Amino acid sequence: MRKVFTLVSFITVSAAFAQVGGRDAYQFLQMPTSPRQAALGGTNVTITGNDVNQVLYNPAALNSSMNNMLAANFGSYYGDISLGAAAYAHQLKNRRNFHVGVTYLGYGSIDGYDENGLNTGTFSGSDVAVSVGYAQPLNNTNFSVGANLKAISSSLENYNSFAVAADIGGLYHNEDTGWTVGLTFKNLGGQLSSYEDTRESLPFEAVVGVSKLLENVPIRWHFSLENLQQWDVSFSNPNRSEIDLENKVTEEKVSFGNNIMRHVVFGVELFPKKNFNIRLGYNFRNGEEMRILEQRHFAGFTAGFGLQVKRFKIEYAHNRFTLAGNTNLFGLSVKL
């Protein structure tokens, strides 16, 4: 256990200078492809039960109730971009559980031009991550630990890159009290091959969360802190700069409290144990970064629902980003 703690501590400190906001490769790994995840704000490590999608976000969530569960999700992003994911879990004869998952992002058809501006036809691009996961409950406790190993591929026209990464997660779940606590270190790894020999880092992220199923009230709330590997996740929006009479520009100053809140994601599930449930969420960082001056458009808010019909579960989520574009995710899960 001491060796594991030392390794995790070293990885966390080494990645403390990692940046958010598109400075790493394979940013599609940060996008929620599960409707339930997306509806609860996009970063949740405390979902329990037989939601097989959750293993992609916290490998410690893998459990025996997911045996022979298959899930497929699909959504449209901006323009012709599409994203999706599939997940499956199975329990072996020795009662050990394993999980396989695929995450996909397609960029659609792109017009190509040479350095002289002449059209060279169309090309496409895509990102794919294939993962294998395993979890182990700790004997006579409410704790479990798990890990995913991922192979990541990216292609654009005739260029390709490849990387390997791992997710490490821990989960505490008490069915009697309704409390759940989760911790995940995501995307620990590096590139084996890169575009044009330019090595790029992976989007490492540390996330911790807590949730509670309320007594006598059909509500479960979720509270998450994302991007714990980096304290300052803010940036100065040039549209919020001030210019005085002498054309002196004063950049936006993000307050201490505002920066704290940009780590916060909050979600609520109504009727979480019923066949039909409603989900709401708010991602403070998305809300701040996508906010338009002097105009309210509810950036950062998310909503969705889940419907159980016998062996099938239908899920939907809507993410509010900007007036110009929002995303919709659809999911179907089945017990084989």
Tens digits of per-residue pLDDT, 2-17?
333 333 333 333 333 3
Q: Tell me what pLDDT residue 12 has.
A: 38
Q: What is the mean pLDDT of residues 133-150?
A: 94
SS3 65: helix
Residue range 247-260: average pLDDT?
83
| Burial label, 230 (beta-carbon count in 10 A; 0-12, 13-18, 19+) | middle
pLDDT at 323: 67
The predicted-structure confidence for 278-323, as pLDDT tens digits, reads as follows 999 999 998 888 777 666 678 889 999 999 998 999 999 998 877 6
Give the contacts of 332 (CB within 8 A, at least 6 positions apart): 71, 72, 73, 312, 313, 314, 315
- For the chain, domains (ranges, CATH) are 2-113+120-335 (2.40.160)
User: Terminal CA-to-CA distance of the chain, rounded, Å?
Assistant: 37
Structure tokens at 200: 């790029």
3-state secondary structure at position 55:
helix
Q: From CA 92, how far away is CA 97, in angstroms rounded?
A: 6
CA distance 275 to 296: 34
Instruction: State which amino acid sits at residue 256.
Output: F
Copy the structure tokens of residue 307: 């419907």
Mean pLDDT of the 200-207 span: 94
Q: Is the pLDDT of residue 18 over 60?
A: no
pLDDT surpasses 90 at 245: no
Whole-model pTM: value is: 0.86
Query: In the chain, count of helices (H) and strands (E)?
Result: 4, 16
